[in-house]
Amino acid sequence: MNWLPSPPTDNLYKFLAIIGGWGVFFIFTFLLALFFQNYEHAEFNKKMSSIYAEEDWNRKAESRVNSLKKGLTGENRIPEISSNFSLKEELLFLSNSMKLSSERLAQLKELTKQPPQNIFPFLASINFDRWLLGALALVLLAFSYGFMQWFVLQRISDEILRLDLILKRTQAKELDTAEVANPSINTDAAR
Domain boundaries, the chain: 12-183
User: Among 29-43, 89-103, 122-136, whose mean pLDDT is lowest?
Assistant: 122-136
The CB density around residue 15, as the number of other CB atoms within 10 Å, is 16
Q: Which of 72, 93, 96, 75 is nearest to 84 (CA)?
A: 93
pLDDT given for residue 88 in this prediction: 83
CA separation for the pair 133, 114 (Å, rounded): 32
Mapped onto helix, strand or coil, the DSSP state of residue 111 is: helix
Is the entire prediction scored with pTM above 0.95? no
Decide if 105 contacts 59 (C-beta within 8 A).
no
